Each structure stands twice: as C-alpha cells, then as structure tokens.
Copies of this chain bind each other. A is one copy, B any other.
Amino acid sequence: MKRTKKFILPETEIPTQWYNIVAEMKNKPLPMINPQTNEPLKAEDLFPLFAEELAKQELNDKDTWIDIPDEVREKYKIYRPTPLVRAYELEKALDTPAHIYFKNESVSPVGSHKLNSALAQAYYNKIEGVTNLTTETGAGQWGTALAFASKTFGLELAVYMVKISYEQKPYRRSLMQTWGAQVIASPSMSTKAGRKILTENPTYQGSLGTAISEAIELAMQTPKCKYALGSVLNHVALHQTVIGLEAEKQMEMADEYPDIVIGCFGGGSNFSGISFPFLRHNLKGETHTRFIAAEPSSCPKLTRGRFQYDFGDEAGYTPLIPMYTLHHKFAPANIHAGGLRYHGAGSIVSQLHKDNLIEAVDVNQLDTFKAGIQFARAEGIIPAPESNHAIAVAIHEALKAKEEGVKKTILFNLSGHGLLDMSAYDQYLAGDLSNHELKDEELNKYFEKES
C-alpha cells in the first residue's frame, strides 16, 4: 500500500528551456517554401503572419535549447508540472506484466496540453504590440487554450471553429466565450475562403484546413492582428516539449525508462511534446525507445499519406510544407476526435517518420472509444476522443507484452479529458458510432486531379 500513484514535481521543476530537436537531427526537415518566390522560406516571410519571435523559433535549426520567458513559466504554474501517473488499475484490468504510465495533461484548466503553446504564443504577440489574434480550432481544445491565454495576456481573439465540431461540441464554444473570445463556425461567409467553399458546397461541414484559411485571411486584413496555430508548425512542437521534459524527470522518480512512448497524432503537437525529449537519447544512440504516433484510420496521413510539399490550409495561403499529407483539399470524415482531422503532419515529424525514427499506426473510431471507456472505468478519468487513440495503442502494446510474457514500460500522453465530448460517449454507448475507413479512391482523388 506504499506504492506511488502520481509522480509530482514541484513548481521549481517546470522546465526553464524548451527542447529544439531540429538542432540535433542529422537529416534536418526540408525547408518550407515561399510559394510566391519558390525560394526557401525566411523568418521575415512569416513576420506579417506571426509574432517575430515565433517566426524565428519556427526556422531555428541551430539552438538545441530555447529559454522559456519567466512570464510564461509563471502562467505554467496554473497547472504545471502535470502529474505522471502509474496506471495500476488499467494494468490490473489488462492483467499485463507491462508497466503503464501516462502523463496527465488533462489537468490543464482548458482540458488539454494545448495551453503549453497558447500561453507562449499569446505572450510573444503581446510583448510585440499585437492586440488581436485569430486562430482555427477543430474539437475546440486549441481554441479554448488560446481563449484563456489571450484573456490572461490581455489580447482579443477570434476563433474559426470547424462547423461539425461547433455543432458536436457546443460547450467548447461556450468555454471560449466564457473566456471572452469570439467564435465563428467555419466555413463562414466572413472570408473569401469561406464564401468560396460554401458557394461550391453549401452543406460543407468544415475542416481544419478551411478554418486555417479563414483565420489567416482575417489576420492579414486586420491591423495589429496576427495569426496563431495550435499544431503542425515547429514552434508549436517546441513549446510542447515541456511535456516530455517533465516526464523524463518523473520517470526517473519512478526509477524506470520507457520502452515505448505513444501520443495521438493530428498535426503533431502532443506527440512531439511527449516524444522529442526522449527521442534525443535515441538520436545519440543512448537508448532504443520506440515512438508510436496513433492516428485515426479515417485521417491516416503518416500511415497512408504521401511525403511531398503541400499547403497547410485548404485555400493555399500558407507556405509549402514538406509533409506526409492526404492533400490540403482532403475533407476528413466527421469523427469525434476533431483535433486529429487534419490532412498533414508537421515537417519535423514527417522527416523523422521518413527516416524510420518513429512509427505510426492507425486506429478506427470504435476501437478508440472502447479503449477510452476501459481506461475511464479503471483510472477514473474520461479521456478526450483524441487521447483515446493513444490509449488504444497503449492497451494493444500492453496486451502484446502479456502474450509475449515480457515486462515493458509504456508511456503515453493523456493529451486531454473528454468531459466536453460526452455526446460522443453517449453515441458510442448507444451503438450509434461507426468506423470510417478511408478508401483508396478517396485517398488518391485530389492528387490525381493535380497530376
């Protein structure tokens, strides 16, 4: 009965620096391309869109460690360090010799890891004199994070929320409004990009790609207004490394080291956050940890997408990014894991995947909810539908360890809670959810149109 369930660090152990994996990669990601000039992107090209410091972080491939401003660390104290938890009850339910740990990012007041980057982005914009931000959100995890971050640093925020999520998850909209943000269902008639897609397809339910186009367009047309993105980009992955940096210390407290690290995968923010600090030891040849990105089988960019230059948004406003992609015009099925409904993987993760330094698996929707409910009944926490993808893979690996009779140490990131996704659980329990396996025709459709 003396066993430790939660490994807790004091506030003084909140990391003082973010880890920039690009500086240590042998094969760096290919450069992003400015589509106007067809030249490699320069930081200055991003200044109209992003805070300058964020643009510089985006292209920084030299500095391994980047200081976290005191003001951001001070805000991190609201919820960081987050607990590392040993999932004893889940282990018992699975009857596995594996030791399962999860990093509990769901304790963030906005409900997910997204606040790690939102606070940093709001801070840099604020000190550079920006007054207004725009952004997109899928399930609403990023939008709620940036809503609170904007409020706490005194910025105004407009959020384009993917229409299907706006309808499926009305309480995340309420959250953003409670923190003072303006929320618009996307596609909307308020932008050229939105009007175009609505004219072509009036019943279109939206995608992250379209919402990004709308948010960028609004930012470009508004003075003292910049845009903020919650995933995919290098600076977002950078900010999220606080997850893995803390987890590394906490695994030490538990006197273990992970054989397998798992994160769900949309554009890469939480997977990068939990993985990169551990992956650096693989890069140096010190360890042989496996890293698994868990993506939805309805939106499998890493497992089935193509590695090529593509736009980050539906309308083609962003630079060209070297990525595993399903094509920027691809409209994913309406799964409840709205945060994973994105067509591409960030350029760092894409390069790592290309070099076989990480793995990816896809999981179908019903299996993710089955895993999430098993986790909830064992550990008490209702996971976000996104996080259920990581849990499903963790359970799969724990059962494999049982079959093989080997003790494995498994670490996954519980990126967020699902308290605002209960309608999805309702539907699952009522037998009303289904899988959305992506057909090959659908996968190739947009690429073929182009070629």
Contact = CB atoms under 8 A, between A and B. Distances in A.
A123 B11 CA distance: 34
A377 interface: yes
Q: What is the interface residue range for chain A against chain B?
A: 35 or more
Nearest to A115: B380
Nearest to A10: B8
A418 to B, nearest CB: 9
A431 to B, nearest CB: 13
Interface string A402-416: 000000000000000
Interface stretch (A233-241, A421-429, A438-446): A421-429
Interface in A1-36: 1, 4-6, 8, 10-11
In the complex this chain forms, how many copies of it are found? 2
Contact of A11 (B5, B11, B378, B382): B5
Contact of A178 (B5, B70, B382): B382
A152 interface: yes
Nearest to A9: B8
B380 A77 contact: no
A70 B5 contact: no
Contacts of A174: 422-423, 425-426, 429
B380 A177 contact: no
B78 A178 contact: no
Contact of A77 (B5, B110, B382, B426): B5
Interface string A98-111: 00000000010111
A259 interface: no
Residue of A10, A174, A426 with most chain B CB atoms under a 10 A cut-off: A174
A170 B111 CA distance: 19
A376 B144 CA distance: 12
A151 interface: yes
A179 interface: yes
9 contacts: A6-B11, A6-B77, A79-B380, A170-B422, A171-B419, A174-B425, A174-B429, A178-B429, A179-B376
10 tightest Cβ-Cβ pairs between the two chains A and B:
A109-B380, A171-B422, A5-B77, A174-B422, A109-B381, A1-B70, A419-B419, A174-B426, A178-B425, A78-B380
